[in-house]
Amino acid sequence: MKTVKIHRIEEECKDIKTFTFNLSNLQSNNSQSNNSQSNNSQSNNSQSNQEHIHPLPGQFVMVWIPGVDEIPMSVSDYDEKGNWSITVKKVGNATEALHNLAVGDYIGVRGPFGNSFSIPTHHKKALFLIGGGIGMAPLKLLAKEFLKHELSFSIIEGAKENAEILYEKDFESLSHHSSTIFYCTDDGSYGKKGFASDIFIEHLKNYSKEDLSDAYVYTCGPEKMMFEIFKICEQRLIPLEASLERMMRCGCGLCGLCALDPLGLLVCKDGPVFTSETLRKLEDFGSYKRDFTGNKLKI
């Protein structure tokens, strides 16, 4: 674990803050960094050279809030100077304690862990990033990576209400890169009224059958939302990658708390990103998660 000083805190929207810290001297021989067991070929590049480790879109870190708890957080941004960001929604003890920290306070960071979203090797006719709420965090880093690769894409961002819309400023310049963003809210207070899955179906009508044969979807957010998006994609034979969230203790494949039935895949080590091919076989996807004692709960 590395102890780092928080050097920037940004209020994103209601109950959500982004924390930035510097990991420029994270060494590549740190054993934690080699936990990435990706299905995705690019994951082997999580270290750009012998000195620095770069997170890949979809990877997460275990964040220790001193005296409180250690929790998983997706990396939402990083730069070449080694500044990494996490975007945190206040939902309970640990996230509230994190929200109460100030610039100059210290946290512990382990990782990066897990696999990553794949990066298409050619321009796709329809490339969608579909996020709900705090699920936009890893998709922000993915969007940045797509821009670097000059890929055009569409984001569909869903939130409960206007006050929960995330990264609006960061996404403002997307149109200069022939990419687009569509917002929707459950109550219609911003963008279109409706769920991200409804907006996705509407958008698919703009594409020909031929276009859809070269479509690809990435999703992260509430599992019910991701399951709906998955079903829509399955009906149209569109491949998808979804980033799943489960309770985590070790974050690196040791405790088994994040296991998915019936394959026993671990979200922290084999995921968090899973492809349609794997999701089809996961009975837990869209149905069950575990609590901290390992008991299964209906999603």
Ligand X SMILES: Cc1cc2nc3c(=O)[nH]c(=O)nc-3n(C[C@H](O)[C@H](O)[C@H](O)COP(=O)(O)OP(=O)(O)OC[C@H]3O[C@@H](n4cnc5c(N)ncnc54)[C@H](O)[C@@H]3O)c2cc1C
Binding footprint of ligand FES on the chain (CB under 6 A): 248-251, 253-258, 266, 268
Q: Which of 33, 12, 38 is nearest to 23 (CA)?
A: 33
93 binds, among ligand X, ligand FES, none (CB under 5 to 8 A by kind): ligand X
Give CA–CA dist 190/55, Å, rounded. 32
Strands (DSSP E) contained in the chain are 2-13, 16-22, 60-65, 69-78, 83-89, 106-113, 126-132, 154-159, 180-185, 192-193, 215-220, 240-243, 259-260, 265-266, 273-275, 288-290, 296-298
> 12: exposed, middle or buried (C-beta count within 10 Å: 0-12, 13-18, 19+)?
buried
69 binds, among ligand FES, ligand X, none (CB under 5 to 8 A by kind): ligand X
Q: Which is nearer to ligand FES, 151 or 266 (by Cβ)?
A: 266
Q: Which amino acid is at 59?
A: Q
How many Cβ atoms from other residues are within 10 Å of residue 196's Cβ?
A: 30
Pattern 61-100, ligand X, x by CB under 6 A: --------x-xxxx-----------xxxx-xxxxx-----
Q: Which amino acid is at 171?
A: F
Examine residue 166 and tell whether it contacts ligand X (CB under 6 A).
no
Q: Which of 96, 169, 163 is nearest to 133 (CA)?
A: 163
Pattern 3-42, ligand X, x by CB under 6 A: ----------------------------------------
256 binds, among ligand X, ligand FES, none (CB under 5 to 8 A by kind): ligand FES
266 binds, among ligand X, ligand FES, none (CB under 5 to 8 A by kind): ligand FES
Give CA–CA dist 96/171, Å, rounded. 27
87 binds, among ligand FES, ligand X, none (CB under 5 to 8 A by kind): ligand X
Q: Which of 90, 67, 84 is nearest to 12 (CA)?
A: 90
How many Cβ atoms from other residues are within 10 Å of residue 273's Cβ?
A: 29
Examine residue 60 and tell whether it contacts ligand X (CB under 6 A).
yes
* Least spacing, CB of residue 292 vs ligand FES, in Å: 11
Q: Which is nearer to ligand FES, 165 or 268 (by Cβ)?
A: 268
Q: Which is nearer to ligand FES, 68 or 255 (by Cβ)?
A: 255
Q: Which of 3, 68, 69, 54 is nearest to 24 (CA)?
A: 54
251 binds, among ligand FES, ligand X, none (CB under 5 to 8 A by kind): ligand FES
Examine residue 266 and tell whether it contacts ligand X (CB under 6 A).
no
Helix (H, G, I), strand (E, B) or coil at 196: helix
Residue least distant from ligand X (Cβ): 92
Examine residue 2 and tell whether it contacts ligand X (CB under 6 A).
no
Q: Which is nearer to ligand X, 2 or 140 (by Cβ)?
A: 140
250 binds, among ligand X, ligand FES, none (CB under 5 to 8 A by kind): ligand FES
Q: How many CA atoms lie within 13 A of 164 on its CB side?
A: 20
257 binds, among ligand X, ligand FES, none (CB under 5 to 8 A by kind): ligand FES
Is residue 75 within 8 A of residue 55, CB to CB? The reply is: yes
* Least spacing, CB of residue 142 vs ligand X, in Å: 13
Applying CB under 6 A, which residues contact ligand X? 60, 69, 71-74, 86-89, 91-95, 134, 137, 245-248, 272
